[in-house]
Amino acid sequence: MRIVVLSDVHGNLAALEAVLSAVGSVDAIWHLGDAVGYGPQPQAVVDRLRGAGAIWVRGNHDDAGGGSKSIELFNPDGYLAMQWTRAHIDEPTRKYLAELPELTKPEGMSVTLAHGSPSNPIWEYMNSAAVASRNVPYFDTQFCLVGHTHVAMAFRATRGVMQMVPVTSRTRLRFGDKRAILNPGSVGQPRDGDARASYMVIDTDSGYVSWHRAEYDIEATQTAMAEAGLPHSLARRLSVGR
Ligand code: ZN
């Protein structure tokens, strides 16, 4: 099986389409949350992922888009963008986002999907080996896949302690029977200094997990954001991937 792992598309349809076209034919699409928020095409992104049969967990922006009070925890730009997002998704989509699971385990695989972390699925940032190690008891599968930080990353367990493994746009790793926490990076708003859309591919036949980047039309998304009246800072950061 060939599985593409996406996260944090954030209403950026051009980035999502670029990834889906670069990755070609896959057996499954897993999405680690935050399809909406920040970007100009929340409805179209949700429709595209649902239409493609993506398996999905709820991120903090999906949660707020679904109507949760967690919108109060957003920073000022995120708050404005979320208010805009709420006004630009339909009722079935709102309901769908609100009802997404916090954690899910795709059938027949030793994998747990979460947005932030298995212990605090909606909000925790898995951004250090210490946080990763503390989360080991909270999942019972070999792998836990997380997003939320918008930074591609891997942690591999040695005697129950997680160690960070550096990841670039060309990294391919095999984990054998070692437990690991993996982050595909963000499709729609990368924050690791590379503006290209980030994603991960799992090949269950070869055992390899690989990280990739796809070029997309950043200006088209920025123009759509300006036309929608979304905060300039959110559009600007797409050019630098920060
Ligand atoms: Zn996000």
pLDDT reported for residue 15 = 98
- Sorted by sequence, the CB contacts under 8 Å of residue 94 that are 6+ apart come out as 65, 66, 67, 86
pLDDT digits (tens, 9 = 90+) for 138-159: 999 999 999 999 999 999 998 8
Question: In angstroms, what is the span from residue 195 Cα to ligand 1's centroid?
Answer: 15
How far apart CA 16 and CA 187 sit, in angstroms, is 6
Prediction pTM value: 0.97
Which residue type occupies 205? D
Length in residues, the chain: 242
CA 154 – ligand 1 centroid, Å: 17
Residue-wise pLDDT tens digits, 182-211: 999 999 999 999 999 999 999 999 999 999
Phi, psi of 163 (to 5 degrees): -120, 140
The confidence band for 110, taking pLDDT boundaries of 50, 70 and 90, is very high
CA distances to 12, 20, 62, 196, 209 from 25, rounded to whole Å, are: 21, 8, 27, 20, 16
User: Which residues sit opposite 203 in a β-bridge?
Assistant: 2
The alpha carbon torsion through 127, 166, 7, 65 (nearest 10 deg) reads 20
Identify the band that residue 160 occupies on the pLDDT scale cut at 50, 70 and 90: confident
User: Tens digits of per-residue pLDDT, 207-230?
Assistant: 999 999 999 999 999 999 999 999
Q: Name the amino acid, one letter, at 94.
A: R
* Average pLDDT, rounded, for the chain: 97
Q: From ligand 1's centre to the CA of 189, what distance in Å?
A: 8
Chain centre to alpha carbon of residue 120: 16
Report CA(159)–ligand 1 centroid distance (Å): 31
Q: What is the pLDDT of residues 98-107, one digit of tens each?
A: 999 999 999 9
Encode pLDDT of 17-36 as tens digits. 999 999 999 999 999 999 99
- Ligand 1: centre distance to CA 10 (Å): 7
How does pLDDT run across 46-70, given as a tens digit for each residue? 999 999 999 999 999 999 999 999 8
